[in-house]
Amino acid sequence: MALKKFALAGLAVLLSSPAFAGDLKGETVNAIEHAQYAADATSIDTAHMHLHHSLNCIVGPKGMGFDAKQLNPCANAGNGIIPDSAGANKAALEAAAAKARDGLASNDPAAVKADALSIVTTLKGLK
């Protein structure tokens, strides 16, 4: 009986973990949404905040540039677009992540907006 309880508890953990869920479409929609928020922002701080959110969705918790102090709107959807895509569209996804990091490093509103719009275009173009 104890073994059965242990097995059921383990199954519950697996089923509730983001790694098991892997909602790539949901992660992509969230990343696009937050990149668009960054592009539409009226202050650099708001733009940076939303770029962080988008980057967190793109790279996931183990990816370059992930910031645990920022919201991860994809936390319950999977491990990030790049890890969940299993190598598909890797170059485009890495380019989108690089644009997010570029935007985060800039204080020029026009450059940040351009980087955010580039992310939107790239992610919308994925197949």
CB 80 within 8 A of CB 60: yes
Both tokens of residue 40?
A: 């539409």
User: What pLDDT, on the 0 to 100 scale, is given for residue 51?
Assistant: 98
Per-residue model confidence (pLDDT) at position 117: 98
Q: Report pLDDT for 13.
A: 39
Measured CA distances, 17 to 30, 39, 54, 76 (Å): 19, 32, 21, 8
DSSP state of 23: -
What was the pLDDT predicted at 21?
46
Q: Determine contact, residues 59/80, Cβ cutoff 8 Å.
A: yes
Q: Up-side HSE of residue 104: CA atoms within 13 Å toward CB? A: 21
Question: Which class for 29: exposed (0-12), middle (13-18), buried (19 or more C-beta within 10 A)?
Answer: middle
pLDDT of residue 12: 39
Q: What is the pTM of this model?
A: 0.83
Chain-centroid distance of CA 60 in Å reads: 6
Average pLDDT by stretches of 10, the chain with 127 residues:
43 41 90 98 98 98 97 96 92 98 98 98 94
| pLDDT score for 22 | 81
